[in-house]
Structure 1
Amino acid sequence: MDTSRRPTLKDVARAAGVSLASASYAINGSGSVGEATRAHILQVAAGLGYRPNTSAKAMKTGRTGALGLVLPDLTNPFFPSLAQAVLQTARRQGYNVLLADTGGALEEERTAIRFLIDQGVDGLLWFPIDDTNPKGRRPAPEMDRIPVVVLDRNLPDHDVVLADYALGGRLAAEHLIAAGHVEIGVISGPHAASSARDRTEGAVQIIQQNARLAWQVENAFSLDLDPTAQTALARREVTAVIAGSDMIAIGAIRHLQNLGLAVPDDVSVIGFDDIPWAALNNPPLTTIDMPIEAMVVSAIETLVQRIAEGPGARRRTVFDVSLVERASVRSIG
């Protein structure tokens, strides 16, 4: 074989002493070929450095074996964890993943989606920036050409995979109230996202029934607190704060410490998401955990089914969340 060119399937078949059909069956994991023969062919292919020609396969089947993943902000540690779960799960399904980060900008989101579709992805996992105008939310008309599964946002025209965010808000509020806190503040995430609104509404409902909502402000999913959040914390009228995400919670803890207040001795703080930083924070952060791996598995299974079978009745899958108790909440009862 000419070592200057890329090995072909014919080269594999010739070196393994089998038919071209058997070599194809072994490489693609299909057809009728014995396990010993399959193992032999794969060993020969590896020795030759054979790699399937995905372009040729795409021309033949109309599929590339790639999925697109669109995320809003990779600077938030929640999203690299999510991306890793997607990559691992997709790999087990036989897919590669092309990743795009939109930086929280709608125009970048539109560009990223068009780029991934132009690259020929077979389906799209989409974590939208927001869902303030959910009806018909489709940044690019090209999205009609491929299956799309939405993560975290409740868009009515798509298959969606969500967590029970309102339950998370209720669990956070109930935990603080059970610890004796009566004066509670809420720093929510951006209300452009229904997940942030649901978290806030769940928490506020419980607080208003069983304690006092001292204040409620809105903040980006960021360590940097908006002036309204800084001012609210500086008033020193709460013993506990519920944050709309772990990033907000860690930012709130930093600001409280800059004010000379101790967490949790002076103010307890609870977050949402259970990002990797949560357990490493000082103090370790009490938070609400979302089952990211299970959500990703569900999303990819749905997407792969849509790729294989075509459109069907809209699927909406909701996962429970749970409280993770650490050291940022103190009992004052």
Structure 2
Amino acid sequence: MSNDPAEVKSTKRVTLKDVAKAAEVSLASASYAINGTGSVGEQVRAHVLKIAETLGYRQNLSARAMRTGRTGTLGLILPDFANPFFITLAQSVMRNARAQGYCVFVTDTEGDQKQERNALNLMIERGVDGIVWFPVRDLDNGAALTSDTPTVVIDRTVGGIEQVHADYRAGGRLAAEHLVALGHTRIGVISGPMSVLSMRERCAGAIAYIEQHAELAFNLATAFSYDLESNVCKAIEQREATAIFAGADLIGLGVIQHATRCGLSVPDDLSVVGFDDIPWAQISTPPLTTIEMPVEEMAAEAIDALLRRIDSRAQPRRKVVFETALIVRQSTSRYL
């Protein structure tokens, strides 16, 4: 058996100069056409791009990063891919970033703050141009964690960093208004973990309206899961309320599932409203009435704000708040 290494033929990498020569344009014009910059006509741009594709030209991103100081990449850090809300958000962020010519690296921290810190460090070490971050928890000051890398936070309250939010309190109020308008007078509230302001706000909005116009049957907390806490299950079983506002869709779907197990009909015996409008809300039995989070608009704003910060670190830090909306489906009905 021969110990000689296998012979591999080397293939020369196609350069921008090769593209310019084949297209019979200047190197500058080829660069403008490839990068979508400069003042070349659309006919020339299309011609150069066709030649580049024919030759198999690929941009040398490492060289471009050294030349421009940018990698053309963004980081997206999310807390829990088990929740379909974050899958929807990730798709929206990536779609908006792609429209701006950026590639997105995505990671899930599994709700663990140590993993979250590691993810931030890794994104920064890999040289992403900026980070969209959905933290596990609210933080008094997160600026030190992201160092000099432009960062925008979604949903959480984090000091020192630009933020994109929805009007959670108004969303909770919309849910309560809907249930009261249907004639419900004993309404329960089931929250998720109250360690984050957005959950506290959505429940506070609902509770404030219920206490003014009806009776708050109970105010209980559970995890973001179908598997409800025993005290929550008991409240459902004993029919303490004719309607329930759930602080998240996953909780609302869990309520429907447990109510059905107990022989209750949703919405005839129990009306349920969720919050987030995850894709599963439309296909549950019955489909879940919920408060829509404007995910696409929030993602677009997060990317726009991040690119502004990448272009100018001196941009003032803002907190942008989007309106929520009530989506009425078949999990709520009039109480007779």
Q: Which bin holds the TM-score, normalised by the shorter protein?
A: over 0.9
The question of whether the paired residues in 1 share the 8 Å contact of 2:117 and 2:145 is answered with no
The question of whether the paired residues in 2 share the 8 Å contact of 1:64 and 1:121 is answered with yes
The residue aligned with 2:314 is 311
When residues 211 and 293 of structure 1 are mapped into structure 2, their CA distance, relative to the original with a 3 A threshold, is same
The question of whether the paired residues in 2 share the 8 Å contact of 1:147 and 1:311 is answered with no
Q: CA deviation at 1:110?
A: 0.8
1:241 matched to 2:244: yes
CA distance in 2: counterparts of 1:293 and 1:196, whole angstroms: 20
- SS at structure 2 position matched to 1:145: coil
Unaligned residue ranges in structure 2 (runs of 5+): 1-8
Return the TM-score normalized by structure 2.
Answer: 0.95
1:183 matched to 2:186: yes
CA distance in 2: counterparts of 1:174 and 1:142, whole angstroms: 40
- SS at structure 2 position matched to 1:231: helix
Residue number among 318, 323, 329 corresponding to 1:320 in the alignment: 323
The residue aligned with 2:301 is 298
Equivalent residue runs for 1:275-290 within 5 Å: 275-290=278-293
CA distance in 2: counterparts of 1:10 and 1:219, whole angstroms: 62
> Which amino acid in the other structure matches residue 194 of structure 1?
L
Residue number among 264, 272, 281 corresponding to 1:261 in the alignment: 264
The residue aligned with 2:254 is 251
The residue aligned with 2:3 is none
1:152-180, Cα deviation, whole Å (9 max, x unpaired)? 01223111110000001000011101101
The question of whether the paired residues in 2 share the 8 Å contact of 1:189 and 1:196 is answered with yes
Equivalent residue runs for 1:155-194 within 5 Å: 155-194=158-197
- SS at structure 2 position matched to 1:68: strand
1:68-100, Cα deviation, whole Å (9 max, x unpaired)? 000011111111111111111001111110001
When residues 5 and 228 of structure 1 are mapped into structure 2, their CA distance, relative to the original with a 3 A threshold, is farther
The residue aligned with 2:6 is none
The residue aligned with 2:210 is 207
> Which amino acid in the other structure matches residue 137 of structure 1?
G
The residue aligned with 2:233 is 230
> Which amino acid in the other structure matches residue 112 of structure 1?
A
Unaligned residue ranges in structure 1 (runs of 5+): none
CA distance in 2: counterparts of 1:316 and 1:303, whole angstroms: 13
The question of whether the paired residues in 1 share the 8 Å contact of 2:266 and 2:272 is answered with yes
CA distance in 2: counterparts of 1:311 and 1:222, whole angstroms: 42
Return the TM-score normalized by structure 1.
Answer: 0.95
Q: CA-atom RMSD, angstroms?
A: 1.4
- SS at structure 2 position matched to 1:114: helix
CA distance in 1: counterparts of 2:142 and 2:261, whole angstroms: 41
1:151 matched to 2:160: no
The residue aligned with 2:110 is 103
The question of whether the paired residues in 2 share the 8 Å contact of 1:117 and 1:142 is answered with no
User: Which has the higher mean CA deviation after the structures are superposed, 306-315 or 283-292?
Assistant: 306-315
The question of whether the paired residues in 2 share the 8 Å contact of 1:127 and 1:150 is answered with yes
Equivalent residue runs for 1:64-143 within 5 Å: 64-131=71-138, 134-137=139-142, 141=144, 143=146
Q: CA deviation at 1:311?
A: 3.0
Q: CA deviation at 1:234?
A: 2.3
Identity %: 53
Q: CA deviation at 1:3?
A: 7.8
Q: CA deviation at 1:142?
A: 5.3
User: Which has the higher mean CA deviation after the structures are superposed, 175-184 or 309-318?
Assistant: 309-318
Q: CA deviation at 1:135?
A: 1.5
Residue number among 30, 37, 49 corresponding to 1:30 in the alignment: 37
User: Which has the higher mean CA deviation after the structures are superposed, 220-229 or 254-263?
Assistant: 220-229
1:16-37, Cα deviation, whole Å (9 max, x unpaired)? 1222111111111112322221
The residue aligned with 1:7 is 14
CA distance in 1: counterparts of 2:31 and 2:317, whole angstroms: 36
- SS at structure 1 position matched to 2:307: helix
1:34-68, Cα deviation, whole Å (9 max, x unpaired)? 22211111110011121211111111111101110
- SS at structure 2 position matched to 1:176: helix
> Which amino acid in the other structure matches residue 57 of structure 2?
Y
User: Which has the higher mean CA deviation after the structures are superposed, 322-331 or 152-161?
Assistant: 152-161
When residues 233 and 226 of structure 1 are mapped into structure 2, their CA distance, relative to the original with a 3 A threshold, is same
The question of whether the paired residues in 1 share the 8 Å contact of 2:192 and 2:248 is answered with yes
Question: Which one has the largest radius of gyration?
Answer: 2
